[in-house]
Structure 1
């Protein structure tokens, strides 16, 4: 007896596959499935059996520049490089790629191009903030090459959302690679010592300028940092003694200038009241006050110091008398305070060419006529070169 097996016709196999496809189509849309990481369609015996799902969570992009722009949006370098990575909020393993676009003033709207991290840009010309821009976006390369609607027997049911980062990482900047210059102008003048004028005002007027508008300034008074601003500016309440003032400037790109050639000045030492002297006040006096004596022999004695130049700052007037001044046990020097009325006159008692002497400075009234003395300038007769940056002395 011969047994024969009936063969299922090919048309029946197609019918089975079609039926399987229709069963899949009758379920909920594949795009609604949570946690979809792969847009590959389902298959039966290697043939598509229905629409796939859509991976609607694109990758994020993380960007790191070689130099971050400062608060003004500027960098001090002509070259920039960028490193970037892809980040996902689900378990998608990729593979991921990147597309970059570099905008310049000549090409403000560049097209996306495939790129790999890191990207090093060629040197660029100096330009204002916002002149250059770099954008990069991560791409899900596996999903970008597929579409969920692959079954030709079914109508499209699943929308294919973009497979690249919809919010690319970006950075804009300008650049300034040239260091600025700084200039200091001192308005005080002293005919006797023009390179180190004596300052009798409450503040020291100066002017700070940079060759690049918008620059900021850093200043030093000796070894002490002081806050300062560009243009006309004054150093308030300077302490007595020698001052060496310098400044540097920082431009919008963060470039720092060299320290400027310093300017020097000297602030007198105010006299303190002692027996036989009374304090008087007035706007024209150094620090707003002076000392007055009305009897012969009233003395002021200052601490021991080295003196190369000595000046007495005192009031003058028709009815004022005289004082005498000496350093240590050296000769007395008489100073006549009579003359046109003025709250402040500088009397050079010992000039800078008379040599050094050391000792206490003594000021003594010579008659019963009143005298008003205010401050003294006692400093060495050495005037260091302008580039030497030291603290105040005296």
Structure 2
């Protein structure tokens, strides 16, 4: 009888031990406020031998990742460099002490790789042009190898132990400079490399070989606002103009400055004694001067003249004027003829040599004359393209 009791007493020990190891009332693993460590609790039935004693808490606050690029993409998402360096690191909001690891990934036409362990900073050199994306994420190494669930029902899903929203930077790399194309629309048969502009604006066409490019322009060395496609320079002052442009693509690469184009803006005439201002949209600048009596004079400031033209309308009842530079010979211009709103009368051609002095225009007779503008310039021109 005594042995039987002893056996029954011995048989009760494992049951008590199991009850101690796995309490029937143990709560399932789950998120706990302030939980930063998923290590399961233990007890020591045998001193020095810890044994899991139930579910631990679940750290459901994943780490964040911060990321910065050596060359941030511009507003259009472009960079103009072929080497990119990224610095990144862990950021926590719940006081978790870690330890933490880092993983990164690169997608693109070269050097691409899937998620892999990495350390900050990471550099990629010699990248070919194309579209790329770099991502980095933080891993809670302390929790990723653990689960707070002891495996006894009910089983719960462990919250992620890595950053579910990796930090990312996307960019399009473009390291090639674009090309610029500048075309002037003004045409001049006599001086094609430096045409006389007879409209109130100067039409110029700007194009680039890369869509979406912007432009920078200069007129006589001063910057002017310009735009792609057909564009018009407004308010150009009288005289010789040298225009140049370059294009900048969306990555900020700049082309070389274009070969300069030249044009000449006539001098619009102001009303003088004996002359009356008349307006018409067909006139250069929208106005001209008109005289109806003999001897009415217009005197322009002193200039060096190698070519002289008179812009004036013609008509069957128009009169004549004479023009000279300084004390040189007079040149007579007959404005009669078929009706034309604007004609260029070449008074001194570009091959007649240089002269200097005040330019004097004088009416001959009493027939009406209208003078629109004057072209007075040296006879040195750039070679034909």
Q: Report the TM range for the smaller structure's normalisation.
A: 0.7 to 0.9
CA distance in 1, matches of 2:376, 2:83: 55
Between 1:257-266 and 1:316-325, the stretch displaced more is: 316-325
Q: TM-score of the superposition, structure 2-length normalised?
A: 0.86
How is 1:252-271 mapped onto 2 (pairs within 5 angstroms)?
252-271=250-269
Question: Cα deviation per residue 1:115-138 (whole Å; 9 max; x = unaligned)?
Answer: 1112222533323xxx32222111
Q: TM-score of the superposition, structure 1-length normalised?
A: 0.84
Superposition deviation, residue 229 in structure 1: 2.8
Partner of 2:141: 141
Task: Call closer, same or farther: CA 1:72–1:83 in 2, change over 3 Å.
Answer: same
Between 1:167-176 and 1:350-359, the stretch displaced more is: 350-359
How is 1:120-199 mapped onto 2 (pairs within 5 angstroms)?
120-127=123-130, 131-150=131-150, 155-156=153-154, 159-199=157-197
Partner of 1:391: none
Superposition deviation, residue 101 in structure 1: 1.8
Superposition deviation, residue 140 in structure 1: 0.8
**Residues paired across the two proteins, number:** 372
- Structure 2 unaligned blocks of 5 or more: 1-8, 45-49
Task: Call closer, same or farther: CA 1:11–1:276 in 2, change over 3 Å.
Answer: farther
CA distance in 1, matches of 2:14, 2:262: 101
Alignment counterpart, residue 85 of structure 2, candidates 76, 81, 87 = 81
Superposition deviation, residue 331 in structure 1: 3.0
Question: Cα deviation per residue 1:208-246 (whole Å; 9 max; x = unaligned)?
Answer: 222233333222222333333333333234222211111
CA distance in 2, matches of 1:385, 1:354: 18
Between 1:266-275 and 1:334-343, the stretch displaced more is: 334-343
CA distance in 1, matches of 2:383, 2:296: 40
Alignment counterpart, residue 103 of structure 1, candidates 107, 110, 128 = 107
CA distance in 2, matches of 1:63, 1:80: 13
Task: Call closer, same or farther: CA 1:84–1:13 in 2, change over 3 Å.
Answer: farther
Superposition deviation, residue 139 in structure 1: 0.6
Conservation of the 8 A alpha-carbon contact between 2:28 and 2:154: no
Conservation of the 8 A alpha-carbon contact between 1:17 and 1:49: no
How is 1:1-394 mapped onto 2 (pairs within 5 angstroms)?
21=21, 26=25, 31-45=30-44, 46-105=50-109, 111-127=114-130, 131-150=131-150, 155-156=153-154, 159-383=157-381
CA distance in 2, matches of 1:35, 1:100: 28
CA distance in 2, matches of 1:13, 1:42: 22
In structure 2, the residue corresponding to 1:112 is in which secondary structure? strand
Superposition deviation, residue 66 in structure 1: 2.5
CA distance in 2, matches of 1:28, 1:85: 35
CA distance in 2, matches of 1:328, 1:64: 71
CA distance in 1, matches of 2:69, 2:14: 57
CA distance in 2, matches of 1:364, 1:272: 15
Task: Call closer, same or farther: CA 1:32–1:212 in 2, change over 3 Å.
Answer: closer
CA distance in 2, matches of 1:10, 1:143: 40
Conservation of the 8 A alpha-carbon contact between 2:214 and 2:248: yes
CA distance in 2, matches of 1:378, 1:343: 21
Partner of 2:4: none
CA distance in 2, matches of 1:184, 1:107: 39
Conservation of the 8 A alpha-carbon contact between 2:174 and 2:251: yes
Conservation of the 8 A alpha-carbon contact between 2:185 and 2:204: yes
CA distance in 1, matches of 2:276, 2:353: 33
Question: Cα deviation per residue 1:58-98 (whole Å; 9 max; x = unaligned)?
Answer: 11111212222333333223332221111111211211111
Superposition deviation, residue 276 in structure 1: 0.9
